[in-house]
Amino acid sequence: MKKPFAPRENYEKSKKRVGYTPRRETKPQTYAKLGFKCGLEVHQQLKTEKKLFCNCPAGKYH
């Protein structure tokens, strides 16, 4: 039987696994070690009946 999903518990476990440090406690050396990180996310509305990776209906929702 599956264990019920506990979002808060999962969040805390994930932070611990990745070595999360609150921004106010993070030292400049940490940022220097990480280097510059930048991301770009692009969204495109496709004229399809369903979404690409699931059976959810596609459409404009406001």
Number of domains the chain is built from: 1
10-59 pLDDT per residue, tens: 999 999 999 899 999 999 998 899 888 889 998 887 788 888 788 788 77
Residue type, 7: P
Tokens of 10: 């999962």
d(CA 18, CA 51): 31
**Confidence label for 9 from pLDDT (cuts 50, 70 and 90):** very high
d(CA 24, CA 30): 12
- pTM for the structure as a whole: 0.45
**End-to-end Cα distance, the chain:** 38
d(CA 29, CA 35): 10
Q: Which domain, by its residues, includes 30?
A: 1-62
